[in-house]
Amino acid sequence: MAESNEITLTIDGHEVSVRKGTTLLQAAQEIGTSVPHYCYHPGMSSPAMCRLCLVEVEGAPKPMPSCVTQAQDGQVVHTESELALDMRRGVLEFYLVNHPLDCPICDQSGECKLQDYVHEEGREHGRSREPKRVFGRDDFGGDVLFYGDRCVMCTRCVRFMNEVEQDSRLTVVERGNRSIIDTFFEEGLEGTYWHGNIVDICPVGALVSKDFLHKARAWDLDHTDSVCPSCSQGCNVSLHTRDNLVQRIKPRENLAVNGWWMCDYGRMNYEWINAGHRLEAPLVRADGDTRAMGWKEALKALLERAPTAAAHGVKAVASPHASNEDLAAFQALVRDLGGEDVLYRLRVVENERPLKGFPNLARRRELAPNADGAELLGMTRVGDDDASGGLDEVADHDGLILVLGDDLDDQGEEFGRNAACYIHLGAHGGTAPANAHFLLPVTTFAEQEGTFTNRDGRVQRFWPSMETAGAARPPWFVLGVLLAERTGAPAARSAAESFAQLSSRVDAFAGLTYEGLGARGAVVNETVSLTGGG
């Protein structure tokens, strides 16, 4: 008879069944009980050195560290007994002996686990009469500042660099109450590609981001689930916004994609989202004069002019930074107007930047979030690795030109001059877009809802975190209205409806539902994607 792989124990009066090898801390989390802890992190080893996760186990001679104590069949565990609480109060008191009371100026305030734990379980008054130790501030290089006075010596940062990034730049020096985190021989974090994660996992304000330093208080930030737009990995992230500006980007857990981590390139590549000089109203050029119009008037004029121009041929260019819904709606309109191929350009760098301790996670060579979506839709990549060139035939085309999302920064002021009708959908203007007969303002990914397809074929949702600029609308909405006016078919009224239209037209997306993607995403039809169908 095969031995069962499950064990049953009792935690705080609740019976719970877990797999063998599960720790008491993890078992408690199964029933929604959060045991205070510092040094434990699910993505790294557990040294059991913070002594904060102590729990009472009936029959054990002393409180046990729950982060390393494996659950046993029939165990009875108390996380809130007087013994467990008294031990944790003592540990917290020791932490506060030297911890500075600088919460009002600390960037971690509002997100600090020491604040939370002391508020929930700590002593009301400290008893120490000795002066606090002073270590001061140290610049670790890169984007990281270290406040030694605040450090609780959990060593999460040291273990991340050793085990996950596998670039041993940090260590613990000195002993006892003189222990401090330091770099090796003045070698800081410059040249590493993942060190921003040590700021994320620091449970107090010992490690802070230079970029975010004193920029905003945690409680002033709105958090929105999203997908990193900086490469084809598709890391799950959270956009932290205030005053309609992205203040920072943090990783969001998804073990199938990026675990708990994200690269420094994606973390810092957000200021373009906040850029001003946005297009805020449809601009229509006729007889050498360009003027702003309302959407209804602009689209009516476009529908009158575009079919005549399409009789001379259709050329189309899309950006792999656009969502699946945007690209599919764009492709459908292009084909309805008589076009066939849609071109896209992609910036590709020479080297990937892998995270050695977490397989299948890297800053990928393809610096766009939806190149795979464009491929599954049958679009054709052109141009050089710096996303330039490849558009000579489009630039001189005398028929209909449609461009979605590509700013055409490498194109001169002659682009589209010969076109009978040039339609450009973008968030910003530029030299080439200024030639467009119809320059239509659309939203960035941070202002709309939709999906990207990452390099593994995983379709993932993102949500709007900012208000739209002026009259800008999602590309799938604008394109869907144009197509509906031409075909009589109903236009999608939501990103979910637009995704449903996409999945009904493209075999690779068949079977996927917008709601079914959830917050973790789902893989496209693998048979179709591997054989190049769709």
pLDDT above 70 for 30: yes
Tokens standing for residue 315:
């050329």
- CA atoms of 66 and 73, how far apart (whole Å): 15
Structure tokens that stand for 432 in this block: 């080439």
Choice between 527 and 401, residue whose per-residue pLDDT is larger: 401
pLDDT value of position 1: 40
Give the chain's end-to-end CA distance (angstroms, integer): 48
In this predicted structure, the answer to whether residue 533 has a pLDDT above a threshold of 60 is no
Residue range 144-168: average pLDDT?
95
The pLDDT of residue 531 is: 46
Helix (H) or strand (E) holding 343, with range, is: strand 342-344
Work out the mean pLDDT of the chain and round it to a whole number. Answer: 93
Residue 527 has pLDDT above 60, yes or no: no
The closest alpha carbon to 267, from 201, 200, 322, belongs to 200
Checking if the pLDDT of 528 tops 60, the result is no
pLDDT tens digits, one per residue of 360-403: 999 999 999 999 999 999 999 999 999 999 999 999 999 999 99
> What value does the mean pLDDT take over residues 47-76?
94
pLDDT of residue 129: 86
The average pLDDT across 307-319 equals 97
Flag the least confident range among 438-447, 455-464, 518-527: 518-527
Percent of the chain with pLDDT over 70: 98
- What is d(CA 156, CA 159) in angstroms, rounded to the nearest whole number? 5
Taking every pair of Cα atoms in the chain, the longest distance, rounded to a whole number of angstroms, is 90
For residues 172-194, average pLDDT: 89
- 196-206 pLDDT, tens digit per residue, is 999 999 999 99
**333 three-state secondary structure:** helix
128-155 per-position pLDDT tens digit: 888 888 888 999 999 999 999 999 999 9
pLDDT at res. 396 = 95
Closest CA to 161 of 351, 357, 353, 352: 357
The answer to whether residue 69 scores a pLDDT higher than 60 is yes
Q: What is the mean pLDDT of residues 439-459?
A: 97
Give me the domains of the chain, ranges plus CATH numbers: 6-80 (3.10.20.740), 104-109+128-220 (3.30.70.20), 283-531 (3.40.50.740)
**pLDDT band at 534; cut points 50, 70, 90:** very low
Q: Is the pTM of this model over 0.85?
A: yes
The predicted-structure confidence for 116-125, as pLDDT tens digits, reads as follows: 999 998 888 8
State the pLDDT confidence band at 41, using cuts at 50, 70 and 90: very high
Residue 332's Cβ-count burial label (10 Å; 0-12, 13-18, 19+) is buried
pLDDT given at position 453: 98
Between strands 450-453 and 438-441, the pairing is unpaired
Distance CA 87, CA 56 (A): 10
